[in-house]
Amino acid sequence: MPRSRRLIIVALAVAGIGAAAGVMMADGDTVTTGPPIPGVRAGVSLTLPEYRRPAPTDRAPLLIEEDRELGLFDLRGRVVVVNFWASWCGPCRAEQPELNLVHDRWAGDDVVFLGVDFQDTRANALAHVREFDVPYDSIFDPGGSWTARFGGIGPAAIPTTILIDRQGRVAVRLLGITNEIELGVLIERLVAEPPSQA
């Protein structure tokens, strides 16, 4: 499909579903999303599968297991919750208990959590992990180079949480603090997607 056509905001013609919405990304492109979802803040919805863009697949060193590298390609086949954070970020600290709750509810065979520690020091990041008893590992990205590979579908600021579908495509981007209800609703939608989409 020509790129110009992909930028057109389309309407869903299925009765009872409602209109789709176009969301302008940081690079000036537009992705097409589905209708609003109860429990999710206004303006945030799942990007329709045919408009989802691939997440970067490059591997990067982990924060805790620092001798190991991980990439999103390694997690293909599962819904991935990627949270961008830093120890110096006050909203990230406020958000962490909510992320822990969602992890405890959803992490398993179908869903995996991955943090991205952004422009931080390893010592401060590890102190954050200990303080909040973070139950999942993070990519250590002190220079921000791995984060930058997301381009316009990545974070504009932190905290940002990105949900990636089973095919490794970015399905939703949550800017700012999220919570147990909002994130849980979106994860549930992605886990329930039919095999033809996931």
pLDDT digits (tens, 9 = 90+) for 86-106: 999 999 999 999 999 999 999
DSSP for 138-162, written as a single string? EEEETTSHHHHTTGGGS-SSSSEEE
Are 163 and 75 in contact by the 8 Å Cβ rule? The answer is no
Which pLDDT score is estimated for 44?
87
DSSP string, 19-64: --EEEE-TTS-EEEE----TTS-TT--PBPGGG-EEPP---EEBSS
pLDDT greater than 90 at residue 114: yes
Higher pLDDT, 10 or 86: 86
| Higher pLDDT pick, 10 / 29 | 29
- Residue 126 contacts residue 64 (beta carbons within 8 Å): yes
pLDDT, residue 7, reads 28
Of 23, 180, 163, nearest in space to 102 by CA: 180
Query: Across the strands, what pairs with 82?
Result: 114, 162
**CA 92 distance to own-chain centroid:** 14
CATH topology assigned to domain 52-191: Glutaredoxin (3.40.30)
pLDDT at 196: 60
pLDDT score recorded for residue 43:
82
- For residues 140-153, give the mean pLDDT: 94
**pLDDT winner (highest mean) among 18-22, 28-32, 166-170:** 166-170
Place of tokens 């495509």: 169
Instruction: Tell me the domain boundaries of the chain.
Output: 52-191
Prediction pTM value = 0.82
What pLDDT does residue 143 have?
95
Type of residue numbered 176: G
Per-residue pLDDT for 10 more than 60? Answer: no
Closest residue by Cα to residue 85 from 123, 132, 119: 119
